[in-house]
Amino acid sequence: MKLTINNEQVYLYTNNKEIDPSKPSVMFIHGAGFDHSVWTLFARHFSRHNWNVLAIDLPGHGRSSGATLTSIEAMSEWVVDILNHFKLEQVALVGHSMGSLITLETASKIKARASKVVLIGSIAPMPVSEPILDATANKPGAAHAMLTSFGFSKQNLMGGNPNPGMWMVSDSMRRYEDEIQAALDLDMRACNAYRNGLEAAAEITAPSLMIHGDADRLTPLRATKTLQSTLNEARISVVPGAGHSLMVEDPNHVLDQLKEHLL
């Protein structure tokens, strides 16, 4: 689906369905340098169970036009504009990595309109190392390789995707290469600069779920404790043997957890 927000074209995957405010709704928010396509499996499932699904392309990503936004706060305001466009009074928010920070900020803004919150591969704050920031700014090919290498558990770098015919490493590289160079760099800097995560988490009243790989090297499991303890009614589901790219490393576990938390 395409629509216009702030005079720019917005693309969101809805499984070719119109948004009906009377139905339960879930918005999926992608991470740095990616787009809506990371959510296709999950969005299709909820759409088939009579939910509105909104898997967005953030500005400057995927099929959405406009300049890449430079802060988590600005991305969150843009997300709220979309929710208001569809007059959604209740929505579950699901975010991965950078998308989880946008989820935190958005849920704190919209308060009771957020029915459920799911944070995948999330910590707050979410610092990004100088070598990664240097690579995203100056050496995009090296940045893609670096983030892909660190984005998977060591065992999954060698293969083992539960979906036959898919190579996770190549899929990740192609996704990064399909985005404009500036988007990944600005996204990573937005993550690094965001300092409001714990304050936002403390204001969220919706039941929250964190899904995290026990072999995550970008947002280590040990760093999740502060965020989990700050959230209201939060539980954490740990995925054995998975890294940061949970939606492809163990899609069935992620889907099962989403169904349990949202349905």
* % of the chain residues with pLDDT over 70: 96
Q: Has residue 14 got a pLDDT over 90? A: yes
CB atoms within 10 A of CB 192: 16
d(CA 143, CA 157): 16
Q: How confident is the prediction for the chain on average, in pLDDT?
A: 93
Over range 5-12, report the average pLDDT. Answer: 94
Nearest of 244, 151, 183, 217 to residue 34 by alpha carbon: 183
d(CA 24, CA 41): 18
Q: What is the pLDDT of residues 189-244, one digit of tens each?
A: 999 999 999 999 999 999 999 999 999 999 999 999 999 999 988 999 999 999 99
> What's at 145, amino acid-wise?
A
Tokens of 210: 């964190």
Q: What is the pLDDT of residues 17-57, one digit of tens each?
A: 999 999 999 999 999 999 999 999 999 999 999 999 999 99
What is the structure's pLDDT at 232? Answer: 87
Q: What is the pLDDT of residues 170-182, one digit of tens each?
A: 778 778 887 788 9
Three-state SS annotation for 34-61: CCHHHHHHHHHHHHHCCCEEEEECCCCC
Q: Has residue 166 got a pLDDT over 70? A: no
Q: Which helix (DSSP H) or strand (DSSP E) does residue 227 occupy?
A: helix 225-230
> What's at 113, amino acid-wise?
R
* DSSP line for 98-128: HHHHHHHHHHHHHGGGEEEEEEES--SS---
Tokens of 88: 């959604």
Q: How many residues does the chain have?
A: 263
CB atoms within 10 A of CB 243: 27
What is the structure's pLDDT at 159? Answer: 57
Sequence-separated (6 or more) residues with CB below 8 Å from residue 130: none
Q: What is the pLDDT of residues 139-162, one digit of tens each?
A: 999 999 899 889 988 877 765 555
Q: Has residue 163 got a pLDDT over 80? A: no
**CATH of residue 15:** 3.40.50.1820
Q: Is 65 helix (H, G, I), strand (E, B) or coil?
A: coil
Rounded alpha-carbon distances, angstroms, from residue 6 to 47, 107, 242: 27, 21, 38
Poorest-confidence range of 11-25, 83-97, 107-121, 175-189?
Answer: 175-189
Query: What domain range is 64 assigned to?
Result: 2-262
What is the structure's pLDDT at 233? Answer: 81
The end-to-end CA distance of the chain, in Å, is: 24
What is the structure's pLDDT at 162? Answer: 56
Over range 2-8, report the average pLDDT. Answer: 92
Rounded alpha-carbon distances, angstroms, from residue 236 to 109, 202, 203, 221, 227: 23, 16, 19, 10, 11
Distance of alpha carbon 166 from the chain centroid: 21
Label residue 15 left, alpha or beta by phi (over 0 means left) and psi (-120 to 50 means alpha).
left
What is the structure's pLDDT at 160? Answer: 56
Confidence of residue 165 (pLDDT cuts 50, 70, 90): very low
Total structural domains within the chain: 1
